[in-house]
Amino acid sequence: MTTIGARFRPTWRGIGMLAVALFFTIAGIAFSRIELVYLATALALAVILAWLAVAIARAPRSVERNPEADLVAAGDPLRILTRIDTRAAFDDARELVSPGLALVSSSRNAAGLASVVVPARRGVHRVGPLRLERLAPFGAAIRRLSAGGSIDIVAVPPIVALAPLRSAGSAGDDAARPGPHGQGTDNLIPRPYAPGDSIRRVHWRASAHHGDLMVREEEREQTASATVVIDTDPTSWPDADAFDRALSALVSIAARLHGDGFLVSVRTSGGSVLGDIARAADLERVLVACARLETSEAPLARFVETGVVVAIGRASWAPTTPAPHILLAPAPVASPGWRQAPLGDDIAESWAAAISEVPR
């Protein structure tokens, strides 16, 4: 383990004790009082030994951090347990954190140090190194050192619970109905027996019903698809908080559509694909990508529309399919063919207003 920036500093109490020892020495010599010189010598030796004790104090050989979760939503608390080598004795220990990450509590226990941090906004934040303090006997000196390196905490945009798209009748007849397994289902339908079919595929009940030999035919049911686009043009958002709110809307909508059975593609207006969501692990990867995403100037990149389209921002275009097109914009814009609502502080309310609106 690396020890960084160890500092030793005498305290005013230690300096005062040396000053008193010096005064006793001068007074003992001036007044020929040997006992004052002995007292001064004992006091000075006590201070020096106290300094040596804290200067040679052993630094912890190992510092291990264990956060409760790999990801944390911006604004939510995250508990981190830091295990410290118990052979190193220190009077105080606390985690150093990067700007944007608040250390709201810190307590020591037998296992080490329990800290609770809260990220103010999305992004990658740093926890560590560990700041340790050791106070010398008599309070004569203090030693501070940083140890244990650091770890990164990924704060992702928070996911807000939203109303299902289909509950508002917004899926339309042109969006394929999602299967219960997310990737489509195998529907078994009987068809007449053909030479070469395996006898194991014979559907005996259907054969008895039709009066002819029938076999099982597997038909693949198509999974509904949706595309969610985030406008990354910096001129579309008045400040960083507005863009963070848009990203929260992005992941909330993507999670809602995934929960409704859609295969969701998440992309930026510049054409970068943040991820395709078919399972829970895919959603986590999109969350991490959104935690690191920043605004950038890039022309609007068109893509092939294959289902429901949701755009967040001012970037919109003429729909090329009859599937629902939903727009959440920071301010009303002229977007024919889109169901539109302003993106406010209440993302759930904005989403509900958009999916219930009639296309313009």
Residues 81-112: tens digit of each pLDDT: 998 876 667 778 889 999 999 999 988 877 78
Q: Tell me the β-bridge partners of 304.
A: none
Average pLDDT over residues 247-258: 96
Which residue, chain included where needed, has tokens 């004052």?
36
pLDDT at 193: 67
Q: Reply yes or no on whether the pLDDT at 221 is more than 80.
A: no
Instruction: Give the pLDDT score at 235.
Output: 92
CATH architecture of 223-355: 3-Layer(aba) Sandwich (3.40)
Listed as own residue / partner, the contacts of 9-13 with beta carbons closer than 8 Å and 24 or more positions apart are 9/141, 9/142, 9/143, 9/144, 10/51, 10/140, 10/141, 11/136, 11/139, 11/140, 11/141, 11/142, 13/138, 13/139, 13/140
Q: What is the pLDDT of residue 174?
A: 46
Residue 291 has pLDDT above 70, yes or no: yes
Q: What's the pLDDT at 304?
A: 85
Q: Quick one: pLDDT at residue 55?
A: 79
Q: Tell me which amino acid residue 243 is.
A: F
- Cβ distance 296 to 234 under 8 Å? yes
**What's the pLDDT at 242?**
94
Segment 7-25 mean pLDDT:
88
| Between residues 217 and 136, the one the model is more confident about | 136
What's the pLDDT score for residue 185?
Answer: 43
**The predicted structure's pLDDT at residue 5:** 53
- CA pair distance 49, 18, nearest whole angstrom: 12
pLDDT band at 343 (very low <50, low <70, confident <90, very high): very high
**Residue 318's pLDDT band (boundaries 50, 70, 90)?**
confident
Q: Which of 1-15, 94-108, 139-153 has the lowest mean pLDDT?
A: 1-15
**The pLDDT value given to residue 263:** 94
Amino acid letter, residue 31: F
Task: Report if pTM > 0.75.
Answer: no
CATH number assigned to the domain covering 63-156: 2.60.40
| The predicted structure's pLDDT at residue 188 | 58
Across 216-237, average pLDDT: 80
User: Is the predicted pLDDT of residue 187 greater than 60, yes or no?
Assistant: no
